[in-house]
Amino acid sequence: MYRYTDFDTAFVAERNRQFRQQVERRISGALTEDEFKPLRLMNGLYLQLHAYMLRVAIPYGTLNSAQMDQLALLAEKWDKGYGHFTTRQNIQYNWPKLGDVPDMLDALAEVGLHAIQTSGNTIRNVTADHFAGAAADEIADPRPVAELLRQWSTDHPEFQFLPRKFKIAVIGSANDRAVIKAHDIGIQVVERDGQIGYRVLVGGGLGRTPMIGKELSDFVPQADLLPYVEAVVSVWNLLGRRDNKYKARIKITVHEHGVEEIRALVESRFAETKAAFGGHDVALFEEIAAQFAPPAFRNAPTEVYDAAYATDPVFRAWADTNLSAHRIDGYAIAQISLKAHGETPGDASADQMRVMADIARRFGHDELRISHEQNVVLPHVHKSDLPAIHKILKANGLATANIGRISDIIACPGMDYCALATARSIPIAQEIATRFDELKIENDIGELKIKISGCINACGHHHVGHIGILGLDRAGVENYQITLGGDATETAALGERTGPGFSADDIVPAIERIVEAYLEHRSGREESFLETYRRLGMAPFKLALYGEEAAKKARAA
């Protein structure tokens, strides 16, 4: 794992010192809110519906146990005993007081964390595959690239006043677990003729105008990546629409100019950036990559695991849903669901954070990951330790066996917290999870991803949910639109709207009707919801939702 250099430590300390003084000047009245707001946003501090909110970056979703322990301390000391993990691998504290935030930032700095560039029109936290360094299908760990990009983008003088925010995601395998096609830039590690390079996508994004990213280059050599990415951001920085915030993201720039024109401009700019970098970035990359060396995996028998799997049905159910293939024999990737039925998606109490930190310390090579799906990952656990880990998780409300199931819902904070929201998300997620738990059909349904956003900005990724739910304000009443057929993976697709929305009372029964239609029409248990939707289209689901008239129209269309 990357450790802060003296430069990093000094940089964060200096920023914290500046922000402490800015807060003092705001409280004394020396700074107006208009003057203070851009300063607090640069440091991740929002003012939301009921309170301030501090968004802390978890670079590429990777944490060690000391960092997780410190997140727990912040939750307990300066918040209400919990934190909320987000769809961008960050953590948010919903209740800090303005005067406490400088102390919170200092506490974060003690463990190499900060909140810089988690807001504002800057390059945001660089996200990555949450299975990085562990996945069996990986070509190379994407995190050294993400860390290189983090260092390059932090306080980059050219990119502090971009047309709009800018999000980058990196993956190291053909299977996309980081939704790179819905990012401003998506980077995929690829191999060609024995050489590592990068496939670069541009112009993806959700929100008001959702777009799937387009391929800008099928292979950027490793040594060219940073100047190439700088060229992309630089081209957009000049072309991007500063006249209209809804048209300012790079997805609109790419859409308006066409990917060919953007590619030509990037290549021309790249000639300049490549010359300017002079190879320092390549040397830095090598230093960074060395810090992501794999841990010392052990070679041990797995009988304990096999025995527990054979005899303990609760353990088996958890293993079947929450474990993924590790690249080392005898190891597994274990996901800790933060989606206990009826609870808030992505929330963990301070106690739970400490439990997870302790498990990572004792059994997990001191590593934890936060997924964009708002769960926690133990990337490296030996199978023989899994029964013991499961027992601890179970005792702490963390053993929910539902990864990838209908109750493993992504939900943004929605109008329970967010000042931008138009409707609530969390209670809808809680009700859907509770309902399907009561029905006891989650495992029968199989893989089904529901994603809920409480406004058009789509933090809850609803466009790429197999079932997407968008909460809107219709004449002063919460109303929920449904989309079907979205896909967040390498076969990314935007969902299609079913028709008129549903009230808060009607949305859960509507989802139930969709699921019933799927169970009725699927060719067999092995055909997933998404596959059934792709085979049959919208008609059977429209019929289930709206009755015969609407379904006829859908068939005619």
Partner 1 sequence: MSKPFSPKVVTANALIEGDVIYLAADDRWVRSLTEAEVLTDEAVAQLRLLDASARPAEAVGVYLAEVADGPDGPQPTHFREAFRATGPSNYAHGKQAEG
Closer by beta carbon to partner 1, 97 or else 553: 97
Give the per-residue SS3 of 58-73. CHHHEEEHHHHHHHHH
Residue 388's Cα: distance from chain center in Å? Answer: 28
Q: Which of 88, 114, 167, 424 binds partner 1 (CB under 8 A)?
A: 424
284 in contact with partner 1 (CB under 8 A):
no
Residue 103 CB, nearest distance to partner 1 (Å)? 14
Under the criterion CB under 8 A, does residue 39 sit at the interface with partner 1?
no
Assess contact for 196 and 179: CB atoms under 8 A.
no
Task: Please identify which residue in 10, 27, 276, 325 interacts with partner 1, judged by CB under 8 A.
Answer: 27
Would you count residue 285 as binding partner 1 (CB under 8 A)? no
| Interacting residue with partner 1 among 344, 453, 481, 532 (CB under 8 A) | 344
> Does 50 contact partner 1 by CB under 8 A?
yes
Binding status of residue 77 toward partner 1 by CB under 8 A: no
Asked if 143 contacts 132 with a C-beta cutoff of 8 angstroms, the reply is yes
- Contacts of residue 249, defined as CB under 8 A and 6 or more positions apart, other chains included, come to 163, 164, 165, 184, 205, 207, 240
Please identify which residue in 1, 13, 39, 47 interacts with partner 1, judged by CB under 8 A: 47
Interface pick for partner 1 out of 477, 500, 523, 552 (rule CB under 8 A): 477
Whole-angstrom CA distances from 405 to 37, 337, 432, 531 are: 40, 11, 12, 15
Residue 404 is encoded by which pair of tokens?
A: 């990838």
Does position 279 interact with partner 1 (CB under 8 A)? The reply is no
- How far lies 160's CA from each of 116, 195, 416, 447, in Å? 11, 34, 31, 41
Other beta carbons within 10 Å of 222: 18
Q: Smallest gap, in angstroms, from Cβ of residue 546 to partner 1? A: 25
Q: Sheet containing 91-93: give its strands across.
A: 45-47, 52-56, 91-93, 82-85, 347-349
Figure out which of the listed residues 51, 66, 259, 550 binds partner 1, where binding follows CB under 8 A.
Answer: 51
Q: Which is nearer to partner 1, 101 or 187 (CB)?
A: 101
CB atoms near residue 483 (< 10 Å): 21
Q: What is the DSSP string of 417-465?
A: T-TT-SS--HHHHHHHHHHHHHHT-HHHH-S--EEEESSTT-TT-GGGS
Q: Which residue number, 32 or 244, has a Cβ lying nearer to partner 1?
A: 32
In angstroms, rounded to a whole number, what is the distance separating the alpha carbons of residues 384 and 308? 10
* Least Å from the CB of residue 349 to partner 1: 11
How far are the Cα atoms of 53, 242, 243, 456 from residue 246, in angstroms, in the given order? 24, 9, 9, 11
Cα distance between the two ends of the chain: 53
- Min CB(423)–partner 1 separation in Å: 8
* Interface pick for partner 1 out of 38, 99, 301, 547 (rule CB under 8 A): 99
- Tell me: does residue 152 bind partner 1 (CB under 8 A): no
- Least distance (Å) from partner 1 to the CB of residue 44? 14
- Is the backbone of residue 395 left (phi > 0), alpha (psi -120 to 50) or beta? alpha
HSE of 507 in the Cβ direction (CA atoms, 13 Å)? Answer: 28
Q: How many residues form the binding site for partner 1 (CB under 8 A)?
A: 30
Report the nearest approach of partner 1 to the CB of residue 421 (Å): 8
Give 473: exposed, middle or buried? Use CB within 10 Å, 0-12, 13-18, 19+: middle
Answer for which of 97, 280, 552, 555 binds partner 1 (CB under 8 A) is 97
Backbone φ, ψ for residue 135 (5° rounding) = -65, 140
Interface with partner 1 by CB under 8 A: which range of 207-215, 352-360, 385-393, 410-418? 410-418
DSSP count for the chain of H helices, then E strands = 19, 21
Among 122, 430, 483, 498, which residue sits at the site for partner 1 (rule: CB under 8 A)?
430
Contact present, 498 and 466 (Cβ < 8 Å): no
DSSP 125: P
Q: Which is nearer to partner 1, 95 or 159 (CB)?
A: 95
Q: Is the CB of 284 or the CB of 504 nearer to partner 1?
A: 504
Give the neighbor-by-neighbor strand order of the sheet with 367-370.
62-64, 367-370, 376-382, 331-336, 323-325
Site track for partner 1 across 434-473, x = CB under 8 A:
---------------------------------------x
Binds partner 1 (CB under 8 A): choice among 48, 160, 302, 434 = 48
Does 80 bind partner 1 (CB under 8 A)? Our answer is yes
| 213 vs 454, beta carbon nearer partner 1 | 454
Residue 98 contacts partner 1 per CB under 8 A: yes
- Nearest approach in angstroms of CB 48 to partner 1 is 8
Which residue, 309 or 417, has its beta carbon nearer to partner 1?
Answer: 417
Q: Does 78 bind partner 1 (CB under 8 A)?
A: no
**Choices 210-218, 243-251, 422-430, 512-520; region in contact with partner 1 by CB under 8 A:** 422-430
Nearest residue (CB) to partner 1, 44 versus 163: 44
Phi/psi at 540 (5° precision): -65, -30
* Site pattern 230..269 for partner 1 (x: CB under 8 A): ----------------------------------------
85 makes contact with partner 1 (CB under 8 A): no
Q: List contacts with partner 1 (CB under 8 A).
A: 26-27, 29, 32-33, 47-52, 80, 94-99, 344, 415-417, 424, 426-427, 430, 473, 476-478
